[in-house]
Amino acid sequence: MAYSEAQKKATIKYMKNNLDDIKTRVPKGKREEYKEKARLLGYDSFNSFVVQAIEEKINREVLKNE
């Protein structure tokens, strides 16, 4: 089934209202390396891997500083 213009508009609207963007720069070649390692670790998406990594790091730092 094709992705309709209405679906595209709905997706853009949802993303605008519910999500924030974070842009990160990495050395050439690292992006694909990181994506592959996340896939091998069983993550559905690279984004879910990055979000979980950020949350884990924050939680470790909070516990360390208590």
pLDDT tens for each residue of 2-59: 889 999 999 999 999 999 999 999 999 999 999 999 999 999 999 999 999 999 999 9
Asked if the model's pLDDT at residue 1 lies above 80, the reply is no
**pTM of the entire predicted model:** 0.74
- Indicate whether 55 belongs to any domain: yes
pLDDT of residue 3: 86
Number of domains within the chain: 1
More confident residue, 1 or 33: 33
24: Cβ–Cβ under 8 A, 6 or more apart, which residues? 50
- Indicate whether 3 belongs to any domain: no
The range of the structural domain enclosing residue 57 comes to 24-66
Please count the other Cβ atoms lying within 10 Å of the Cβ belonging to residue 43. Answer: 17
pLDDT of residue 2: 86
